[in-house]
Structure 1
Amino acid sequence: MSAVQRHAVVAGAGIGGLTAAVALHRHGWRVTVCERAAGPTAVGAGIVLAPNALRAFDTIGFDITRAAGRAVPAAMGLR
């Protein structure tokens, strides 16, 4: 008798949705990610991850240093 593979549908391809999808996939789930946007858009914004988010990435084995870009902003402001 073969095991039935579990399937998850993740709504949203943001950081939370993609992290959930990676974690489930690494635990043997078949995952479908649904995203409303046709593709990424350049908005000129950065992403800041809090320490707990970085710990969550570490917990699921995601190497954030490999995914981080090397872009240096020309200017930065805080309002």
Structure 2
Amino acid sequence: MKLLVRNLSRSTSEEEIRNLFSAHGDVDSCDLVLDQTTGKSKGFAFVEMPNDDQAQKAISNLHEAMVDKSRIRVKISQ
């Protein structure tokens, strides 16, 4: 299941996001979206989790969680 993670702090790294979601299950990929010009985070990422139950658990536990002083939003990517 592909998840969209929004409202990330600009200082949150791809590794931190992967670790956050790995606590709830297996993570196939984690892609932090970067600005092509500056190379800095745009504040959102995509996380791919192969197990739907684990992905739902991650959504339940991480949606509106505080990460690096930002309240993140997690949902299924459309």
Computing the radius of gyration from Cα coordinates, the structure with the larger value is 1
Which structure carries more strand by proportion? Answer: 2
Q: Which has the higher contact order (CA 8 A, sep 6+)?
A: 2
Which structure carries more helix by proportion? Answer: 1
TM-score norm. by structure 1 comes to 0.27
